[in-house]
């Protein structure tokens, strides 16, 4: 995709000091909508996510790619006076400043809100941390694994009578990144109305709790949620079943679908069984229901059940795909969800497109993930630096070993 004026965040500049996934996914979402994201990285090392692996492709982590399409990379040594001066120049022309330091670190580096706002009073400053900027845990380090545990997510994930397990993707990192992007966009909207900048204090633990929904509802009702495998605490049948050659997810959200399922299974007797008469009854007798259905589902292959349940009976059901199959199937191909972007050195790089398909606006990534420091001089040229000024900046250590 080439540059276009109908991208919603066209003209918005983001200075991103974050590492790993929380802030990275936030700025990725903003880049997808047209924002210019300037990724400020440590000289010689860069974002730790560059080194997350194996696997590596030509020395680079493909995991890093998935979080950093469409950004520009600038190396700055923020421990040097020249590096901080250069950062302040970036911030003075930016709309958004994003960091995920542990509370106290930004102040030590002189990149806290007060320091940045001294150069740009209208900036939207977002500080991401594990536990937020206040409270007794504010200075604790924290990562996705810890937050999944402390948010209650792990307590309800896994099989009964076995140890808690984390969700198999960095769930709370991604949740936090999405909240950050939402908060930044709403703060920019408010700035359009008031002319005022904003400060956003976002903690990962805070970000995870609103996603508990039905589990929190059980606590509010005086109950204790527990690990249920793929079963659901308030719906039945709403879980995974083994088929003759794999696994199948089945989601019956009402009695009408339950009747259809019984017919498709050739088990009309289940539809008239008092234990399963309503969803509440099915939830109450979930174990017995599972026993009845499990025996039936093992009798056919997954594809046969998809044909019988989905295509013929209109019942919500679907296979449990391996990740490779999830990324490559007829629906994904038809929607153009997984594409490629051309890189002059790496060739074609796979891209998972973001899901917002506008009727009157354009979105998408305009460039591949950047190499470390690839845009250091370009970005400052755009700010008005000439080559002599860039050489002086480099000589003073702003770019580290440049």
User: What does the block give as tokens for 215?
Assistant: 């589990």
Which contiguous run of DSSP H or E holds residue 382?
Answer: helix 376-382
The rounded distance, in Å, linking the Cα atoms of 216 and 234 is 12
The rounded distance, in Å, linking the Cα atoms of 20 and 25 is 9
The rounded distance, in Å, linking the Cα atoms of 86 and 40 is 11
Strands (DSSP E) found in 211-261: 238-242, 247-251
Could you confirm whether 325 is annotated as catalytic? no
Lookup result for tokens 């977002």: 126
Q: Distance from CA of residue 67 to its chain's centroid? A: 9
User: Cβ contacts of residue 48 below 8 Å, gap of 6+?
Assistant: 19, 20
Structural contact between residues 163 and 180, judged by C-beta atoms closer than 8 angstroms: no
Give the residue from 68, 90, 65, 86 showing the smallest Cα distance to 76: 86
User: What does the block give as tokens for 157?
Assistant: 């994930």
The rounded distance, in Å, linking the Cα atoms of 166 and 156 is 9
Structural contact between residues 147 and 110, judged by C-beta atoms closer than 8 angstroms: no
Which contiguous run of DSSP H or E holds residue 319?
Answer: strand 317-319
Asked if residue 54 has a cis previous peptide bond (ω within 30° of 0), the answer is yes
Q: 355, exposed or middle or buried, with CB in 10 Å at 0-12, 13-18, 19+?
A: exposed
Q: Which is catalytic among the residues 77, 144, 173, 206? A: 173
Share of the chain residues as helix, strand and coil, in percent rounded to the nearest 5? 40, 15, 45
Give the active site residues. 173
């Amino acid at each position: 995709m080439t540059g276009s004026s109908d991208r919603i965040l066209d003209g918005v500049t983001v200075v991103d000091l974050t590492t790993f996934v929380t802030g990275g996914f936030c700025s990725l979402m903003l880049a997808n909508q047209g924002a210019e994201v300037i990724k400020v990285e440590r000289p010689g090392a860069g974002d730790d996510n560059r080194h997350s692996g194996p696997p590596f492709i030509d020395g680079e982590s493909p995991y890093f790619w998935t979080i950093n399409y469409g950004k520009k990379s600038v190396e700055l040594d923020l421990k040097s006076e020249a590096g901080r001066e250069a950062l302040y120049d970036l911030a003075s022309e930016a709309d958004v400043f994003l960091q995920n330091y542990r509370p106290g670190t930004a102040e030590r580096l002189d990149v806290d809100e007060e320091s940045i706002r001294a150069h740009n009073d209208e900036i939207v400053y977002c500080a991401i941390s594990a536990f937020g900027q206040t409270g007794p845990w504010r200075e604790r380090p924290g990562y996705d694994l810890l937050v999944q545990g402390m948010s209650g997510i792990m307590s309800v994930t896994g099989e009964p009578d076995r140890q808690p397990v984390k969700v198999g993707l960095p769930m709370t990192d991604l949740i936090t990144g999405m909240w950050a992007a939402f908060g930044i966009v709403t703060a920019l909207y408010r700035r359009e109305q008031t002319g005022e900048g904003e400060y956003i204090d976002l903690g990962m633990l805070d970000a995870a709790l609103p996603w508990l929904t039905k589990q929190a509802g059980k606590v509010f009702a005086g109950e204790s949620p527990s690990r249920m495998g793929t079963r659901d605490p308030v719906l039945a049948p709403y879980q995974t079943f083994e088929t003759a050659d794999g696994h199948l997810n089945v989601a019956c959200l009402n009695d009408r679908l339950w009747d259809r399922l019984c017919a498709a299974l050739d088990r009309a007797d289940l539809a008239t069984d008092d234990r399963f008469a309503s969803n509440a009854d099915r939830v109450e007798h979930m174990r017995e229901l599972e026993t009845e259905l499990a025996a039936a589902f093992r009798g056919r292959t997954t594809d046969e059940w998809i044909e019988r349940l989905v295509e013929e009976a209109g019942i919500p059901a679907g296979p449990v795909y391996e990740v490779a199959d999830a990324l490559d199937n007829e629906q994904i191909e038809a929607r153009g969800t997984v594409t490629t972007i051309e890189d002059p050195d790496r060739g074609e790089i796979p891209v998972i497109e973001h899901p917002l398909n506008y009727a009157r606006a354009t979105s998408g990534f305009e460039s591949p993930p950047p190499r470390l420091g690839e845009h250091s001089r370009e970005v400052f040229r755009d700010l008005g630096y000439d080559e002599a000024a860039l050489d002086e900046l480099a000589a003073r250590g702003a770019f580290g070993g440049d």
